[in-house]
Amino acid sequence: MFKFNITILGSSSAIPTSDRNPTSQLVNHDDHLFLVDCGEGTQVALRRLHIHFQRINHIFISHLHGDHFFGLIGLVSSLHLLGRTKPLHVYGPPELEEIIRMQLKVSLTELLYPLFFHVTQAGRTEVVYEDDFLTVTSFPMLHRIPTTGFLFAEKPGVRRIRKEILESMKIPYPEMVRIKQGFDYRDESGKEYSNEELTLDPYPSRKYAFCSDTAYYEDIVPVVRGADILYHETTFLQNRAANAAEKFHSTTLEAAKIATLAEVKKLVIGHYSARYDDLQPLLDEARSIFPMTELAVEGQRFDL
């Protein structure tokens, strides 16, 4: 089974604190690294965790509030200064390219590497990235400005050849490929083996859903349903529900309700208001509705 995990680089909302950076996360799928949002301090967090950020080839920006992208130009610049030559792909709102290109222009920076921008559309759900094993889908959030969530979903896997078969039979490689695709096998003597004899079911496909920033929005439930991990913002405790509604953010109980409706396996909460030094009350409140809840804390890794 492929490696699939999420590392928290930043968990604060608009204002960073002494121990919490604005939003940023690293998704690792089979050692392919994807950055999701890039608040201030992201590249420092990457260095602190000894993550080689030259290996990041795709960056996804949810929206253009500063706490979600003010670290991007710094990272783009550092990659250039470190001699990067391979392309970098950035996915985000239509205006993002203009912002980054202007910063490069006024600083007279000519990047050593190709920088490609891919426009996301906050009004619809669409696949924005795809490889042989993974898709990334953007989908609308409910916020003060156009905002998207991102769903990282594994494609259905191939069947797995049983270990004892591999050890006891010398099956040619081309036939092994066919067997994994569901075909039966006939050996050199003419004996036929059914696929069920030779294989096990594929590993279950896993999904990670990133939802920040948003007010309570049940329209996301069909998209994130059954996710192994749902990250959902919880800027406020429930006693500040009016503040959350005014600012188009969510409370702990609202995030927990979405997790319940979507029948996800685990909820990770973050994007905490800087007013909260102690995060335990947010965790306790979310767990009162959805027990399988964890806090997003800088440096923490969640495995799917």
Residue 36 class from Cβ within 10 Å (0-12 exposed, 13-18 middle, 19+ buried)? buried
Tokens of 47: 């260095």
Measure the CA–CA gap between 7 and 299, rounded to whole angstroms.
Answer: 6
Nearby residues of 7 by Cβ (< 8 Å), 6 or more positions away: 25, 26, 28, 49, 51, 299, 300, 301, 302
**Would you name the residues annotated as active-site residues?**
67
CA-wise closest residue to 304 among 230, 228, 223: 228
The answer to whether 21 touches 39, Cβ cutoff 8 Å, is: yes
Question: Residue 271 contacts by C-beta under 8 Å, 6 or more apart in sequence?
Answer: 11, 12, 13, 23, 212, 213, 233, 234, 235, 249, 296
Residues 6+ apart with CB under 8 A from 19: 298
Which SS3 state, helix, strand or coil, does residue 5 take? strand
